[in-house]
Amino acid sequence: MIRGAKKITHSDWGRSYSQMVSDEFFKNFINIISLAFIIFLFVVAVFAPFIANDKPFVIKIDGALKFPLFASLNGVDYSTLLAALVGVVLFLLHRRNIKKVNPSIRGSIWAKQVGVGVVVLIVGITCLLALIPSKLDATDYKSKLKSKEASFAIFPIVPYGFARTNISEREEPPSKKHWFGTDDVGCDVLCRVIHGSRISLSVGFVAVGISGIIGVFIGAIMGYFGGKVDFVLMRFVEIMMAVPVFFLIITIVAFFPRSLLNIMIIIGITGWTGNARFIRAEFLKLRKQDYVQAARALGLPLHSILFKHMLPNGIAPVLVSATFGIAGAIFTEASLSFLGFGVAPPTPSWGQMLSQGVSATGHFLWWMSLFPGIAIFLTAVSYNLVGEGLRDAIDPRLRKAA
Partner 1 sequence: MSEVLLEIKDLCVSFDTDDGVVNAVDGVSYQLRKGESVAVVGESGCGKSVTSLSVMRLIPSPPSKVLGGEILLNGENLLEFSEKKMRSIRGNEIAMIFQEPMTSLNPVYTVGEQIVEAIERHQTLKGDAAWTKAVDMLRLVGIADPDIRANEYPHQLSGGMRQRVMIAMALSCDPKLLIADEPTTALDVTIQAQILELLREIQKRNNMSILLITHDLGVVAENADYVVVMYASKIVEKAPVDALFATPAHPYTKGLLASLPILGSDKERLDTIEGSVPDPLNFPSGCKFHPRCSIGCKDKKCQTQEPPLVEDGCGRAVACWHAKL
Residues near partner 1 (CB under 8 A) are 1-3, 5, 7-8, 12-17, 102-104, 107, 226-227, 289-291, 293-301, 304, 308-309, 312-313
What value, to the nearest 5°, has the Cα angle with vertex 401 and ends 396 and 402?
95
> Which one, 17 or 70, has the nearer CB to partner 1?
17
> Which one, 88 or 111, has the nearer CB to partner 1?
111
> Which one, 2 or 64, has the nearer CB to partner 1?
2
Q: How many other CB atoms are found less than 10 A from the CB of residue 281?
A: 15
At position 324, the amino acid (one-letter code) is F
At position 212, the amino acid (one-letter code) is G
Residues 169, 6: Cα–Cα separation, whole Å = 67
> Which one, 55 or 309, has the nearer CB to partner 1?
309
Least Å distance between CB 29 and partner 1?
28
Pairing of strands 58-61, 64-66: antiparallel
Element (H, E) at 85: helix 75-100
Least Å distance between CB 299 and partner 1?
3
Q: What is Dmax (Cα atoms) for the chain?
A: 81
Residues 353, 338: Cα–Cα separation, whole Å = 7
**N-to-C CA span, the chain:** 48
Least Å distance between CB 112 and partner 1?
13
Distances (CA, A) of 89 to 3, 94, 116, 384: 25, 9, 11, 26
Q: Order the strands of the 58-61 sheet from edge to edge.
A: 64-66, 58-61, 150-154
> Which one, 7 or 148, has the nearer CB to partner 1?
7
> Which one, 288 or 400, has the nearer CB to partner 1?
288
> Which one, 167 or 297, has the nearer CB to partner 1?
297
Least Å distance between CB 252 and partner 1?
38
Transcribe 98-153 into DSSP letters.
HHHS-HHHHHHHHHHHHHHHHHHHHHHHHHHHHHSPPP-----HHHHHHTTSEEEE
Q: Is 202 left (phi over 0), alpha (psi -120 to 50) or beta?
A: alpha
Least Å distance between CB 114 and partner 1?
17
Least Å distance between CB 346 and partner 1?
48
Least Å distance between CB 110 and partner 1?
13
Least Å distance between CB 389 and partner 1?
21
> Which one, 256 or 291, has the nearer CB to partner 1?
291
